[in-house]
Chain A
Amino acid sequence: MSTEMQKPPFKSGVLRWIDERLPVLTWAYNELVVYPAPRNLNYWWNFGSLAGIMLVVQIMTGVILVMFYTPHADLAFDSVEGYIMRDVNWGWLLRYIHANGASMFFALVYIHIFRGLYYGSYKKPRELLWILGVVILLLMMATAFMGYVLPWGNMSYWAATVITNLFSAIPLVGEPLVTWLWGGFTVDNPTLQRFFSLHYLLPFVIFAMVFLHLLALHQFGSNNPLGIDLSKKDKIPFHPYYTVKDVFGFCVFLLVYGYFVFYAPTAFISPTNFIPADPLQTPTHIVPEWYFLPFYAILRAITFDFLWIVPAKLGGVIAMFASIFVLFFLPWLDTSKVRSARFRPIYKWFFWLLVIDVLVLGWAGANPPEGWYLVAAQLGTLYYFLHFLVILPMLGKIERPLPLPTSLSDPVLRGTRSQPAS
């Protein structure tokens, strides 16, 4: 949008007539066809558009599933397990596409986020692009959580209970706030019905945010593996170069997605959720979906009162929310001007340490909060915040980055020149 719009080559006078009055075609042409993309993007750059496709898949299957689902505490479980899974034509397929779709969506988005972390895509001038991404992540978490409650299995019920109870940790207003969230004195039908409403609403909010995310992306164009600003000659039109590359990536992704939908459809569904919600029977081991595990570990890592002011319960909630909110400040916490980790020899190591740290947190979150699991969760939590609040700000000051190329052709030329003459 920073460059002036290019008119699409219209073959039809009708389209030109429409476009003169409502320039949506010009807009689509400029953003999706001629949009100049760096010519050195690697496959890690596929994950944004893949996540976009997953959003559409989730909305499409969701709109159909809603036609068969009954948002009532007495009927929800049967409408999912009885009606949709057994009676509705292809209902099993639609539900498994939707339920596993949530996992796929998060997997793609997490890779997309770590891609941004590695190549410094959050740095000036793309701070707002990054912040919008974090907003999308938060909305996705809320949507996924509420969607998980809808089948009204026993894990649905207790997940709703545990997560809404997080807010009871807030001093003074905590208890009335939770009653307000529930619409009662426990998780029950009113809770289910408002979750259903919001689960339908939020994806469209996400859709709008994705639109803004794209708008912000196209303002300065995509970052690239070298992290340097590219001139016009180092860019190629999005279509056909990246449409084809994205389609290929999508085909590979479909193999993975298809494997889960057709061969392991319940791999991500807790067996407990095949039992109807029972307010009298808490499952012995409550675990959230895998994509929440690292945050769950952070929540449970705070087992001690902090400075006699913050009780452990509130501390855990604060730490968990802070682990996401710290990402909002990342563009300013990372003081290095160099974007890509390729030219940051020390940051590269810390990046992989962070990946390992998050995996350890996920592993700890999947296990009971005791013994070594708890120690791992506590150390992991400590390191997570150290990374963002201490290491990144300091690293920018002490690290000596490798010399940056000035253009894409530059490193190639230097490479040939450095060949020994003999």
Chain B
Amino acid sequence: MADSSVRHDEPAGGRRRDFLELVAWSTFGVGTLAAIWPLIDSLNPSAAVLAVASTEVDLEPIEVGQRITVMWRGKPVFVSRRTEEEIQMAQSVPLEELRDPEPDEARVQNPEWLIVIGICTHLGCVPLGNRAGEPRGQWAGWFCPCHGSHYDTAGRIRKGPAPRNLDLPPYRFVSDTQVLIG
């Protein structure tokens, strides 16, 4: 339609029209991304979900040698009040024997209390050993019945298909008898 011979200026570096086209498409692209972002971000955890993202645990009733399970962000967290013997076992293991080498001190804030996420790092089952009478595996820690992973008294992987030690949740001791997970 338009007569292409009546173009006024066509400088070597590109035409006005190219520039306008670039600006238009960039604006369109940025605008689209900005419009799509709320749709995508709305699927992230909401404030209501984040608000229940920390769990407070009262340590008072837990006896030495006892293990309890608490819920944190919908996952089981193992709280274990370890015996002297268990602490000894965890601390005396040479690191080169471990698949995921981590000294016991790096896994506890207070040697008496081991707090780990109770989800096997293999495929997400909950290992046995937290309740009285359940098998604790060869290293007296936890044993995952799904695919046979053995964890020791520091929650470290010793045998079986799991790649990593049991994960540690973020936590801090609010007082001697109170711990805040998350």
Contacts and interface: CB of A to CB of B under 8 A. Distances in A.
A-B interaction: yes
Interface of A: 60-61, 64, 67-68, 83, 86-91, 93-94, 236
B39 A87 contact: no
B38 interface: yes
A67 B43 contact: yes
Contact of B47 (A60, A61, A87): A87
A225 B162 CA distance: 73
Contacts of B51: 87
B42 interface: yes
A87 B49 CA distance: 8
A83 B46 CA distance: 8
Contacts of A61: 39
Contacts of B46: 68, 83, 87-89, 91
Contacts of A90: 37-39, 41-42
Contacts of A87: 46-49, 51
Contacts of A236: 1
Interface residues of B, number: 13
Interface in B4-50: 37-39, 41-44, 46-49
Contacts of B47: 86-89
A93 B48 contact: no
Contacts of B43: 64, 67
Contacts of B48: 83, 87-88
Interface of B: 1, 37-39, 41-44, 46-49, 51
Nearest to A65: B42
B24 to A, nearest CB: 9
A91 B46 CA distance: 9
Nearest to A39: B1
Nearest to A254: B31
A94 B39 contact: yes
A342 B86 CA distance: 95
B44 A89 contact: yes
A94 B42 CA distance: 9
A89 B40 CA distance: 9
A236 B1 CA distance: 9
Nearest to B27: A251
A83 B48 CA distance: 7
A347 B47 CA distance: 58
B21 to A, nearest CB: 11
Instruction: Please indicate which of the listed interface residues A67, A87, A94, A236 has the most CB atoms of chain B within 10 Å of its own CB.
Output: A87
A156 B42 CA distance: 25
Given A89-B42, A91-B42, 5 more contacts: A67-B42, A87-B46, A89-B41, A90-B41, A94-B38
Contacts of A93: 38
Nearest first, the 5 closest Cβ-Cβ pairs linking A and B are: A90-B38, A87-B48, A87-B47, A87-B46, A88-B46
B42 A64 contact: yes
A89 B39 CA distance: 9
B34 to A, nearest CB: 11
Nearest to B39: A64
A61 B40 CA distance: 11
